């Protein structure tokens, strides 16, 4: 598809009559992907434990890289030499990079936020670092992802109103500066990030001001950071009316099956999270009947599949007994097999969600799915 002046284009196909969820296609310079979709996270230019062929098989062709971590290791000179993440990790499809803003939140003890940017201590060697909106754009230009993110401040969800208002204003100022630094690009689309914690008026204010700046896509940040599911869903329900219908909507850091369903019902198109791969590395499989801890002794002689309905390479080839053995023997293959399974599970779930949207039955599908998954 011709990208014209934009490096991405959202094509709306259908709105579910039962739920209001959106079905679409996100066109990028490196391939088109169906929406809504889940994007596996490749923090260090790798989806943990998988090679690029395996990552292709468990994704729709759009994965994430982490700006902060790749800036520090291997560094921009190495990334330049490879022509960006795509050449570095031999990834043939679409990419998204975050801005480093989440590290402002997660590395709270190692940073100081100012209006100019964020002063960091390197989380490993203690070196002094500075990340500004302009620097975040510079790094992401080198990384070369199709979709890049504005630097934002992800304030604690329980911050008081006055602090959250100042934080939102800072995020908006940084968004304007990042947009100027980014300039016009036919190969990279810069998204704005809506912040505001639990305060719906601040969320609307932030969204309205970002829309004035005119980004090709919008993300919702500051959720799945310790708030209750009820609090998260309340924000999502409000947000569906605040964002443009003709541009993609990205809910950051959400990967639990029930949250993906709720996000889709509230008009979200894109999701990412380390949740499924982290579960896998600790021996937990996502199945249609809920989570399964493969380390449990009950699986010692179990010759069944992780999930009887699953057709992923792990379930097609290996028994629960064998995978349990791998974890008990501390063999890395166990982590790889569960990672493949969990990401395949979410890829398949999103495919089922898209089918339900096309058939105007997503609320019905949600009820049927969760009856087994949350039992």
Q: How far apart are the first and last CA of the chain?
A: 44
DSSP H helices, the chain, are 52-57, 67-72, 76-81, 85-89, 101-106, 133-143, 161-182, 200-213, 229-239, 257-265, 275-281, 313-317, 320-328, 332-358, 362-373
User: Considering only CA atoms, which of 121, 134, 223, 220 is closest in space to residue 173?
Assistant: 134
CA distance 132 to 345: 38
The residue from 98, 152, 259, 269 that is catalytic is 98
| 98 given a catalytic annotation | yes
Residues 6+ apart with CB under 8 A from 127: 121
CA atoms within 13 A on the CB side of 25: 7
User: Considering only CA atoms, which of 302, 280, 282, 284 is closest in space to residue 292?
Assistant: 284
Distances from the Cα of 119 to the Cαs of 31, 92, 130, 210, 235, in angstroms?
Answer: 36, 34, 5, 25, 30
Q: What is the CA radius of gyration of the chain?
A: 20
CA distance 374 to 185: 44
Q: Answer whether 18's CB lies under 8 Å from 362's CB.
A: yes
Helix (H) or strand (E) holding 38: strand 37-39
CA distance 146 to 189: 6
Q: Answer whether 249's CB lies under 8 Å from 267's CB.
A: yes
- Which DSSP symbol is given to 364? H
User: Considering only CA atoms, which of 248, 269, 249, 259 is closest in space to residue 16?
Assistant: 269
The residue from 152, 259, 269, 272 that is catalytic is 272
Tell me the catalytic residues: 98, 272
């Amino acid at each position: 598809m011709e990208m014209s002046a934009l490096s991405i284009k959202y094509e709306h196909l259908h709105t579910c009559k039962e739920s209001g969820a959106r079905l679409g296609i996100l066109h990028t310079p490196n391939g088109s992907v169906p929406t809504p979709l889940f994007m596996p996270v490749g923090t260090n230019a790798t989806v943990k434990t998988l090679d690029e062929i395996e990552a292709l098989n468990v994704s729709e062709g759009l994965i994430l890289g982490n700006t902060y971590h790749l800036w520090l290791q291997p560094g921009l000179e190495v990334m330049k030499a490879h022509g960006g993440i795509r050449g570095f990790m031999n990834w043939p499809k679409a990419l998204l990079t975050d801005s480093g803003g989440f590290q402002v939140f997660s590395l709270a003890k190692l940073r100081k936020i100012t209006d100019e940017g964020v002063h960091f201590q390197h989380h490993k060697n203690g070196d002094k670092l500075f990340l500004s909106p302009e620097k975040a754009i510079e790094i992401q230009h080198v990384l070369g992802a199709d979709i890049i993110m504005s630097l934002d401040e992800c304030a604690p969800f329980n911050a008081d109103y006055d602090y959250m208002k100042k934080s939102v204003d800072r995020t908006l100022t940084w968004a304007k500066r990042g947009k100027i630094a980014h300039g016009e690009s036919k190969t990279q689309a810069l998204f704005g990030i809506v912040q505001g914690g639990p305060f719906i008026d601040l969320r609307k204010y932030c969204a309205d001001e970002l829309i004035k700046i005119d980004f090709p896509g919008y993300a919702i940040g500051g959720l799945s950071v310790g708030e209750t599911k009820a609090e998260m869903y309340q924000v999502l329900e409000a947000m569906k009316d605040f964002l443009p219908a003709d541009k993609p909507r990205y809910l950051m850091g959400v990967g639990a099956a029930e949250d993906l369903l709720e996000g889709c019902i509230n008009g979200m198109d894109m999701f990412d999270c380390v949740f499924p791969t982290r579960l896998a590395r600790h021996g937990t499989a996502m199945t249609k009947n809920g989570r399964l801890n493969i380390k449990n002794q009950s699986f010692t002689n179990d010759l069944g599949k992780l999930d009887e309905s699953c057709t992923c390479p792990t379930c097609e080839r290996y028994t629960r007994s064998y995978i349990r053995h791998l974890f008990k023997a501390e063999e890395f293959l166990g982590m790889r097999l569960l990672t493949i399974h969990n990401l395949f599970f979410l890829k398949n779930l999103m495919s089922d969600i898209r089918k339900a949207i096309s058939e105007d039955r997503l609320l019905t599908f949600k009820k049927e799915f969760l009856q087994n998954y949350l039992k």
